[in-house]
Structure formats: C-alpha cells, structure tokens
Amino acid sequence: MPVRERVRQRRFPSLAAEALVSLVVAADHFTQQADALCARHGITGDQMNVLRILRGAHPQGHPRFEVGLRLMRRSPDVTRLLDRLERQGLVERARSGDDARLSVARITKPGLKLLATIDPELDELMQSVTRPVSQAQLRQLARLCDALVP
C-alpha cells in the first residue's frame, strides 16, 4: 500500500515531507515486526540491540556510556535496559579494573545463546521485508540514509 494511502494524505507540503514520512512509515513497519519477534523471546527490541552491541564487544564488554552511543534508537535510560537484562541473566556487570567508578557490561552465555536463537528469525524477517527491493536499491537506500544522518 502506498504511503499516501496508509497515512490517508493526498498531498504533502513538500517532497522532503513525503520522503521523510515514507521513511518513518517503512521503519515503523519493520520495527513492529521485529519487536513482536523479540517479545516472543522475552525481550524488547531495545534489549536485543543492547545484546547485539555487547556480543560485538565480547568478551571485553562495554561501559554504559559506550552502549548508549551505539544504540540504533537513542535511549535516555541505558542503565534500566542493562538492569533488566542483568535480572534475566543475559548480561553481567562488573567494576572496571582501571576505574572503580566505571561499570562494564558483558553479555553472558545465556545472552549469546538467545541471540543465536533469534538471529536466524531476524535474518528471515529482514529478507522478507526487503524482498520487493533489489540489492542495488538496498545499497542505494543505505547510502541515502547515511546521507540523512550527520
């Protein structure tokens, strides 16, 4: 369904407005499906993002501020995200040896196992959502999105 129909708007004030509304609608379409996938596994999309960030830093981990910088969607409350993941046994935190004030979060074996379970499902979802678009168009879309973010 074209975005104009989805948002029930015949005209946009500008091409920029139409393009950005289209981008938001497309992102929301994927995000809703990804969040539902994560919910089936007992986590949120933002928690999944944190786990993927920590997997990339495994086994060293990252301090809270570094996790916050790497999030796809900015969150003012990275501490609570980490707290919930820690309570679920998916993340552990320890004081840094260099700076006792600094807490470093690391993904646990159960966290790695959960991601290994979710990854194939998420890959299939991404393939499904992007199936109508060619590889060249996906490359172009990635470049265009890069151009929009300073």
Reading the chain (150 residues) residue by residue, the pLDDT tens digits are 677 777 788 888 999 999 999 999 999 999 999 999 999 999 999 999 999 999 999 999 999 989 999 998 888 789 999 999 999 999 999 876 666 678 899 999 999 999 999 999 999 999 999 999 999 999 999 999 999 988
Check: CB of residue 79 under 8 Å from CB of residue 93. Answer: no
Task: For the beta carbon of residue 99, count every other beta carbon within 10 angstroms.
Answer: 10
Cα–Cα nearest to 51, from 106, 120, 122, 117: 106
Half-sphere exposure of 110 (CA within 13 A, CB side): 11
- CATH 1.10.10.10 range(s) for the chain read 43-124
CA 115 from centroid of its chain's CA atoms: 13
Instruction: Provide the token pair at 81.
Output: 């995200």
Instruction: Provide the token pair at 32.
Output: 């809703």
Give the predicted TM-score (pTM) of the model. 0.87
CATH number for the domain running over 43-124: 1.10.10.10
